[in-house]
Amino acid sequence: MSNVFSKAWSSVIKPMLFRPKRVQVAALCYRTTEDQKEVLMVTSRGTGRWILPKGWPIKGKDGGESALQEAWEEAGVQKGQVEGAPIGAFSYEKELKTGLPVPVETFVYSIANVELCDDYPEAHQRKRQWFSPQEAANRVREPELQALLRQL
């Protein structure tokens, strides 16, 4: 009988409880003013809360290039310099169109020398705004992202 439970655990229950996280990429676009750095944030389309531009990796692009593409679509970043490997990551649960939440690990890429354009794909769906790193950290929900922003 324990063999039946063991098979049920390994083939049905465990995969449902311990699903691997899906991967997204985010763009931490920043600029330096006279006093400090500022972070570009956008509102989410669903809830309107402040987030970093982010999305699924794009086939044919590496993580940084995918993050820069998301920054263009969601925030109008027409130019920017990806500064190498991810500077950190954060986890959250994304609600899919089906209503089911999926665990997501989001890798954050730093983008410098940002130039903005006013006409971009999601301009009428989102707001964008520059925030100090501390204010940006106060506006996001994810503790790991808050810590990352406070390190700037």
This model's pTM is above 0.95: no
Q: Are strands 22-32 and 88-95 parallel, antiparallel or unpaired?
A: unpaired
pLDDT in the model for residue 96:
79
Q: E-assigned strands of the chain?
A: 22-32, 37-43, 50-51, 54-55, 77-82, 88-95, 101-116, 128-131
The answer to whether 19 touches 101, Cβ cutoff 8 Å, is: no
Going from N- to C-terminal start, the domains of the chain cover: 20-150
Q: What integer pLDDT is reported at residue 19 of this predicted model?
A: 64
Superfamily of domain 20-150: Nucleoside Triphosphate Pyrophosphohydrolase (3.90.79.10)
Q: Sign of the C-alpha dihedral, residues 143, 140, 91, 30?
A: negative
Q: Which positions ≥6 away from 39 have C-beta within 8 Å?
A: 28, 29, 30, 52, 130, 131, 132, 133, 136, 149, 152
Residue-level pLDDT at 122: 97
- pLDDT tens digits for range 65-101: 999 999 999 999 999 999 999 999 999 988 878 888 8
